[in-house]
Amino acid sequence: MQEPLYLQWKKWDCLSDCRYNCMVDREIKRDALGHGPVKYHGKWPFIRVYGIQEPASVAFSVLNLAMHFHGWLSFFILLYYKLPLKQTKKAYYEFSPLWHIYGFLSMNSWFWSAVFHSRDVDLTEKFDYSSAVALLGFSLILAILRSFNVRDEAARVMVAAPLLAFVTTHILYLNFYKLDYGWNMKVCVVMAVAQLLIWATWAGITRHPSRWKLWVVVFGGALAMLLEIYDFPPYYGFLDAHAIWHATTIPLTYIWWSFIRDDAEFQTANMLKKAK
């Protein structure tokens, strides 16, 4: 029997489709008996929408992707069309290449997040985890370089090299040796907490005019991270802790890119003053 197209492109074969329907039937019976949801194969029971496994997480991931694209594009326009450029047509803001890389890694991470939550298979899971680790690792490098105002290329390499080596090794470990969820969670939490502490420390000592935005992102990010650690079943089969975490990062992303643009303007103004 030919399966519907939406099942084919989502790789919902007969076996996985039967498992899903059995899970739904079982949860209906449990709910009638007054019992709460339980996990199946390590996953909470979500209600599919047009073959999409976790519709809320997918929607919020797409919105995060759109927000990062908007933020990066506005940053690009600011740098090359609104702020003064050097005679070589390069931006005065010395951290611009790093933020461009950050923007692409962010968009890549949220793209694979949307794909993974749309359909959880081995390949999409590895791409999602790998892209998230890559983003966190680079974000940590960026936090160190910007907060300590590291401009020398050799110094940047010395800071980035060991962290890049660790992140690369960790990604290879997850993909080709063992997808250890517990270990990966520890690695991600450590990298996330480290960069939040770095940004918080810098926000406390700098006289940056937009440091309040940094504080908002740091505290908001810390609170949002609790949702990633604290797990609870989805409300009405749609909204779980992970999905809510995705939702909270949308406004934080807008504020974050606003800070990045402000930082570019602030640094450019300082560079022009020194050049006079």
Domain holding 265: CATH number?
A: 1.20.1070
pLDDT at 64: 98
Cβ neighbour number for residue 69 with a 10 Å cutoff: 16
Residues 144, 229 within the same domain: yes
Residue 90 lies in a domain: yes
Residues 15, 122 within the same domain: no
Residues 217, 265 within the same domain: yes
Residue 165 lies in a domain: yes
Cβ neighbour number for residue 172 with a 10 Å cutoff: 11
Residues 30, 60 within the same domain: no
pLDDT at 42: 66
Give 40's strand partners: 43
Residues 56, 31 within the same domain: no
Residues 70, 200 within the same domain: yes
pLDDT at 195: 96
Residues 266, 227 within the same domain: yes
pLDDT at 113: 95
Residues 31, 94 within the same domain: no
Domain span at residue 93? 50-275
pLDDT at 131: 98
Question: What type of residue is 124?
Answer: T
C-alpha 93/C-alpha 80 separation (Å) is 11
Residue 43 lies in a domain: no
240's tokens: 């779980």
Residue 42 lies in a domain: no
pLDDT at 120: 82
Residues 188, 84 within the same domain: yes
86's tokens: 């050097």
Longest dimension (CA), the chain: 77
Residues 148, 237 within the same domain: yes
Residues 81, 144 within the same domain: yes
Q: Which residues does the chain have with pLDDT short of 50? A: 1
Give 216's strand partners: none
Alpha helices (H) along the chain: 5-9, 14-32, 55-77, 96-118, 122-147, 153-176, 181-205, 211-229, 241-275
pLDDT at 87: 85
C-alpha 104/C-alpha 71 separation (Å) is 11
pLDDT at 45: 67
3-class DSSP state of 106 = helix
Residue 44 lies in a domain: no
Residue 41 lies in a domain: no
pLDDT at 23: 65
Residues 206, 96 within the same domain: yes
State the total domains in the chain.
2
pLDDT at 1: 47
Asked whether the beta carbons of 233 and 240 are under 8 A apart, the reply is yes
Residue 169 lies in a domain: yes
Residue 251 lies in a domain: yes
- Read off the pLDDT of residues 42-71 as tens digits, 9 standing for 90 and up: 676 677 777 788 888 999 999 999 999 999
